[in-house]
Amino acid sequence: MKSEATNRTHASILFTTLLCAILTVPAQATVFFTEEFNGTTLDPAWSALGDAGHTGLNGSGAYVLTDPHGNPGTELRRDPLDGPSSFRASVVVAADPFNSAPSLADPSSNNTRSDFKWRFFGPNGFAEVILNSFGDMRLFHRDNRAGAGGNLAGNTNIGIADGDSLELMLSYSQAADTMDLSYSLNGDAAVPFYSGAGNGDGFGDFASNFMDVQVFKWGASPADQAVIAIDRWSVVPEPSSVGMLSVGALGLLFGRRRKAAGTVA
C-alpha cells in the first residue's frame, strides 16, 4: 500500500493543480480584462459604435469620444461576456470640456448639455451609471423579469469639474445579488454612492451580454461637444468569489490528508 508521505505528495499535487485552475480560469465565468488604451491600434475586442464621434486612441494612453446633438450617441462597447459571475469593474475618465463651454458668447449656456454613461447589459436586465454635464450622477437599474426599473440612487452632484479625473468602481456579488458603487475624484479616497439590491427580482445576470460607455449630447445649444477621454477600464474577478473557491480546494486537500493519515504503510 502507498505510504502516508506518498499520499500527502499526491494530495499536494492535486491541490496545486486545482488552485492554478481556479486562479487562471475563475469559474469559467466572465472574460476579465484590464485595458490601458496604450498604443495606436484598438484591441479588436472593442467595438466603436454609434455616431462619428470616435476620435480614438490619442497616443497618450486614452481613448477619446465626443458626440454631436441629434444623433444616437457615441458608444465604445466590449462584448460578449461568458456568463454571470461576481466581478469588480472600474473605469477612469477625464472630461474637458464637459461642465463648461468656454467658446460660447452666452454665459447662461455654460455646459455642453451632455451625458456620460457607463452601462452593463445582460439577459435579466441592465444597469447604468449616468453623469450629466451639470455634475449630477445617478444609478439606474431595470429588471426585465419583473418589468421593474428606476433609479437606485438619484441625481447627486459629485463636484466634478472640467479636467478632473473620475474613477467609477462597481462591485457585484452574485451570491448576495447585491451591488456596491463608489467614485473617486483626482485620486482621492473613494466615496460610497450605492450599496444594496436591485429593482424587481434583483440584478441577476445584468452584465453578460456586453458593457459600454456612451457619450450623448441631449441639448442643441450650446454647439460645444463634450470630450471624454477613457484612461483605463477593467473587469476582474471579485476577490471573495475566488477566495471561496480556494477554500473549497483547501478543504479537499485537508480531507485527503486526513484519509492518508489513516492509511497503513
Instruction: Specify if 254 maps to a domain.
Output: no
Instruction: Specify if 24 maps to a domain.
Output: no
Using 50, 70 and 90 to split pLDDT, how confident is the model at 25? Answer: very low
* CATH number for position 47: 2.60.120.200
Q: Which residues pair with 122 in a beta bridge?
A: 125
Distance from the Cα of residue 202 to its chain's centroid = 18
Instruction: Specify if 199 maps to a domain.
Output: yes
Instruction: Specify if 223 maps to a domain.
Output: yes
Domain that holds residue 99: 30-240
Instruction: Specify if 23 maps to a domain.
Output: no
How far apart are the C-alpha atoms of 194 and 259, rounded to whole Å? 47
pLDDT tens-digit profile of 28-60? Answer: 445 789 999 999 999 999 999 999 899 999 999
pTM for the model stands at 0.80
pLDDT tens-digit profile of 189-202? Answer: 999 999 999 999 99
Instruction: Specify if 138 maps to a domain.
Output: yes
Please count the structural domains in the chain.
1
Which residue, among 197, 213, 193, has the nearest Cα to 50 in the 3D structure? 213
Which amino acid is located at 186 in the chain?
N
pLDDT tens-digit profile of 202-257? Answer: 999 999 999 999 999 998 888 889 999 999 999 999 875 444 444 444 444 444 44
Quote the crossing angle between the two packed helices 4-24 and 239-261, to the nearest 10°: 170
Instruction: Specify if 256 maps to a domain.
Output: no
Instruction: Specify if 12 maps to a domain.
Output: no
